[in-house]
């Protein structure tokens, strides 16, 4: 069957074109802005157009045989150097198509929500230009036909995160948060670049000048030596820890809350933070061959999930709580792909996109109603004022906690069960504990925000539901957070695991069998722990919560275990001191020494020649006579 099509490029091109048009319009009319409705209309064309083409791609792939289910489009040869040949091309298969579906769908809903949330904001057009650019970059990342093209989107989402996190440039803290996201991601990106370089070095003979794309890399992967393959996996994972906020590079993501709330939803639910999971799954044929690398991925993931869940239990900022929940859920995903349960990890990415976008946009509705108040201890009783927002937030919290039958239950439980079935019982145990903590901090948020008595009467009196342009996306996402899990209903519930079946051609996955009894017991334990977390949150925060200063371990959790302070003391400040050393000693005494030496030499030479420059004509005449005399003597001796 023919695998080449000519419309794949439309998926990333439409939002990129939208970004260009919106950006130019904003630049040309910044002093006299155009109507917001015009910007809104143009901003929606790209995401919706990409969604339509994604549906076409999905329908086309469904009609193809499973063993050859992929589509390609090569636009031109980007560059060729020696054995390295890179085409600017796109590649769509079941894995990338699943990402395309939720990226374009969730991205479109967040665009619609932003129309209401950002109404009246300064630089309205610039905001949507950045938003379209962000979406287009993520689509390039997902559709790139190889790691080099993927890296364009990889860097694009990093740039856009910086632009959007620091969107409110008049606030210094926002700018610093954007800088932090950009710099921390550069650390991870170094690992990605080195991993790709080592991969090419190990495969260049096997490639024989063929394109450096996924199909050729997969075909030649068996020729890699054990050391080279392991190094590639670990280096690529360093890149993933940066983009997907895993320990030790997770510190940028909570600070990313400085940007507008729809930006937080886009980053956390559908774009940047899922990039690392996608990359590891895309190279599943490598990670499955090196179990040690998989173990590293799984353990980093599950320990990050535990750390972030503990910190989330003690935060006051509604967006910070959700931010740490994202870090924690990403840890679950890495635990899944780390134990070679790739489809389970990817399915959790899929379900997480619905309930996390729902929670962030629901939090945005609360912040919008309370005039940008984000401290949950200054809220309370909003269930009466915002019943719709309360309902959707409860649905999102139940899905996040993994309570059946909501979406998060099926994907999270599959990861935990696969870890247990593959013999990683400690990872399973930690994952169950994290599920309990997740339920606790999720419903701590719900009870403090929506239940009890108002703790700020003025904000409560002015609170109201947001306009339909913001509530309609919430309702759609609530439906997804409720039913998305049924797309991969496991055999335990007499399902046929549609998502896992769909992803099978793209992933090198080894399934492990376990008894139905084991699966049932593990499921019951997980649900029991979730109920325990919800019950404890209800008992502590539902009726008469007390905002007491935290002490001991809780204080450490509130202060994020001082990880940022540790990095500042042992990495940032020493680096600044080193920079000052270079500036104050090495630069003037070593770097500038040749320049200064040359200047001194020319000065000395100038002083010497100055002696002969008397400024008198008779002196110059004497010089001429002496010169002619010497020349005559030289010529006479030569003849």
What pLDDT score does 510 carry? 66
522 plus 636 within the same structural domain? no
Distance of alpha carbon 620 from alpha carbon 496, whole angstroms: 104
pLDDT at 514 over 70: no
Assigned domain for 137 exists:
no
Q: How far is CA 144 from CA 8, 136, 138, 196, 365, in A?
A: 10, 12, 10, 14, 35
Q: What is the pLDDT of residue 628?
A: 86
Same domain, 372 and 480: yes
Q: Provide the percentage of residues in the chain whose pLDDT is more than 70.
A: 98
As a whole number, mean pLDDT of residues 113-118 equals 93
Q: Are residues 540 and 613 in the same domain?
A: no
Question: Can you give the residue range of the structural domain that contains 505?
Answer: 353-547
pLDDT recorded at residue 2: 62
Which of 40, 46, 49 is closest to 16 using CA atoms?
A: 46
How much is the pLDDT for 592?
80
Phi and psi torsions of 90, nearest 5°? -125, 155
Place of tokens 């063993």: 67
Same domain, 511 and 629: no
CB 236 within 8 A of CB 334: no
Which pLDDT score is estimated for 616? 74
| Residue 424, pLDDT above cutoff 60 | yes
Q: What is the DSSP letter of 258?
A: G
Least confident piece of the model among 168-172, 334-338, 406-410, 615-619 = 615-619
Same-domain status, 529 and 622: no
Across residues 471-495, what is the average pLDDT?
92
Instruction: Examine residue 605 and state whether it is found in any structural domain, yes or no.
Output: yes
Query: What is the chain's mean pLDDT, rounded?
Result: 92
pTM of the model: 0.91
Last residue of a domain, one of 507, 523, 547: 547
Task: Categorize the per-residue pLDDT at 615 as very low, low, confident or very high, splitting at 50, 70 and 90.
Answer: confident
For residue 61, tell me if it sits in a domain. Answer: no
Residue 235 lies in a domain: no
User: In angstroms, rounded to a whole number, what is the distance separating the alpha carbons of residues 32 and 160?
Assistant: 25
Whether residues 513 and 623 share a domain: the answer is no
Tell me if 49 is assigned to some domain: no
Average of per-residue pLDDT across 306-312: 97
For position 639, what pLDDT does the model report?
62
pLDDT bin (cut points 50, 70, 90) of residue 1 is low
Provide the pLDDT confidence category of residue 599 given band limits of 50, 70 and 90: confident
Q: What local confidence, expressed as pLDDT, does residue 543 receive?
A: 80
For residue 410, pLDDT over 60 is answered with yes
Instruction: Report pLDDT for 332.
Output: 96
What's phi and psi for 208, nearest 5 deg?
60, 35
* Structure tokens, 398: 């139940």
Asked if residue 271 belongs to a domain, the reply is no
Q: Around Cβ 228, how many Cβ atoms within 10 Å?
A: 15
Task: Decide which of 362 and 623 is more confident.
Answer: 362
Say which range, 161-165, 194-198, 412-416, 489-493, has the weakest mean pLDDT.
489-493
**Count of the separate structural domains present in the chain:** 2
303 domain residue, yes or no: no
Domain membership flag for residue 633: yes
In a shared domain, residues 369 and 475: yes
Weakest-pLDDT range from 195-199, 321-325, 561-565, 573-577: 573-577
Q: With contact defined as beta carbons under 8 Å apart, do 350 and 484 qualify?
A: yes
618 pLDDT tier (thresholds 50, 70, 90): confident
DSSP 159-210: HHHHHHHT-STTSHHHHHHHHHHHHHHHHHHHHHHHHHHHHHHHHHHHHTT-
- Mean pLDDT computed over 174-186: 93
For residue 54, pLDDT over 90 is answered with yes
- Rounded-to-integer distance, Cα 160 and Cα 178, Å: 10
Confirm if 114 and 72 have CB atoms less than 8 A apart: no
Assess whether 506 and 610 both reside in one domain: no
Q: Same domain for 400 and 535?
A: yes
Q: Average pLDDT in the 388-417 region? A: 95
pLDDT over 80 (residue 610): no
pLDDT of 159 above 80: yes
* Residue that finishes a domain, picked among 523, 547, 571: 547
Residues 625 and 483 in one domain: no
CA distance 188 to 177: 17
3-state DSSP assignment of residue 379: coil
Lowest-pLDDT choice from 301-315, 326-340, 609-623: 609-623
Mean pLDDT value of segment 349-353: 96
Domain boundary among 532, 547, 562: 547
pLDDT-derived band at 304, boundaries 50, 70, 90: very high
The reported pLDDT for the residue numbered 126 is 93
Do 461 and 542 fall within a single domain? yes
Both 396 and 517 in one domain: the answer is yes
């Amino acid at each position: 069957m023919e695998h080449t099509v000519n419309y794949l490029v439309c998926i990333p091109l439409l939002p990129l074109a939208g970004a260009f048009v919106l950006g130019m319009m904003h630049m040309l009319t910044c002093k006299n802005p155009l109507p917001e409705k015009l910007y809104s209309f143009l901003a929606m064309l790209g995401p919706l157009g990409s969604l339509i083409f994604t549906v076409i791609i999905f329908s086309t792939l469904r009609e193809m045989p499973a063993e050859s289910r992929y589509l390609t489009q090569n636009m031109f040869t980007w560059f060729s150097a020696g054995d390295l040949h890179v085409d600017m091309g796109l590649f769509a298969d079941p894995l990338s198509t699943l990402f395309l579906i939720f990226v374009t769908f969730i991205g479109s809903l967040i665009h619609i929500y932003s129309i209401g949330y950002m109404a009246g904001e300064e630089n309205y057009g610039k905001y949507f230009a950045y938003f379209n650019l962000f979406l287009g970059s993520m689509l390039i990342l997902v559709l790139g036909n190889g790691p080099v093209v993927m890296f364009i989107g990889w860097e694009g989402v990093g740039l856009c995160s910086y632009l959007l996190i620091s969107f409110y440039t008049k606030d210094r803290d926002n700018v610093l948060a954007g800088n932090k996201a950009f710099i921390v991601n550069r650390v991870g990106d170094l690992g990605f670049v080195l991993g790709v370089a080592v991969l090419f070095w190990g495969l260049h003979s096997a490639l024989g000048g063929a394109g450096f794309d996924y199909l050729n890399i997969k075909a030649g992967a068996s020729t890699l030596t054990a050391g080279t393959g392991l190094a590639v996996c670990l280096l690529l994972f360093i890149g993933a820890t940066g983009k997907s906020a895993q320990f030790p590079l997770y510190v940028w993501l909570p600070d990313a809350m400085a940007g507008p709330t729809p930006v937080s939803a886009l980053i956390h639910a559908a774009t940047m933070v899922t990039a690392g999971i996608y990359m590891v799954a895309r190279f599943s044929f490598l990670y499955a061959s090196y179990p040690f690398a998989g173990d590293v991925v799984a353990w980093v993931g599950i320990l990050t999930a535990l750390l972030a869940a503990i910190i989330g239990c003690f935060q006051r900022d509604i967006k910070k709580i959700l931010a740490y929940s994202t870090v924690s859920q990403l840890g679950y995903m890495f635990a899944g792909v780390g134990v070679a349960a790739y489809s389970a990890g990817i399915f959790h990415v899929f379900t997480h996109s619905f309930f996390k976008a729902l929670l962030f946009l629901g939090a945005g509705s609360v912040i919008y109603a309370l005039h940008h108040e984000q401290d949950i201890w200054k809220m309370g009783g909003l269930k009466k004022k915002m019943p719709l927002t309360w309902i959707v937030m409860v649905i999102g919290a139940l899905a996040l906690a993994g309570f059946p039958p909501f979406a998060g239950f099926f994907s999270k439980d599959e990861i935990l069960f696969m870890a247990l079935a593959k013999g990683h019982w400690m990872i399973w145990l930690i994952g169950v504990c994290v599920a309990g903590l997740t339920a606790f901090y999720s419903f701590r948020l719900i009870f403090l925000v929506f239940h009890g008595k108002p703790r700020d009467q003025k904000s409560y009196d002015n609170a109201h539901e947001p306009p339909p342009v913001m509530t309609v996306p919430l309702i759609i996402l609530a439906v997804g957070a409720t039913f998305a899990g049924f797309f991969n209903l496991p055999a335990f519930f007499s399902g046929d695991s549609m998502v896992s079946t769909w992803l099978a051609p793209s992933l090198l996955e080894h399934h492990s069998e376990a008894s139905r009894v084991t699966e049932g017991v593990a499921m019951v334990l997980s649900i029991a722990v979730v109920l325990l977390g919800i019950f404890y949150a209800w008992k502590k925060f539902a009726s008469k919560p007390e905002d007491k200063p935290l002490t001991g371990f809780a204080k450490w959790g509130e202060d994020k275990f001082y990880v940022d302070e540790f990095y500042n003391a042992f990495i940032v400040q020493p680096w600044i001191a080193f920079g000052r050393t270079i500036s104050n000693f090495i630069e003037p005494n070593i770097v500038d020494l040749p320049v200064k030496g040359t200047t001194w030499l020319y000065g000395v030479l100038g002083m010497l020649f100055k002696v002969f420059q008397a400024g008198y004509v008779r002196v110059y005449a004497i010089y001429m006579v002496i010169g002619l005399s010497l020349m005559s003597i030289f010529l006479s001796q030569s003849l």
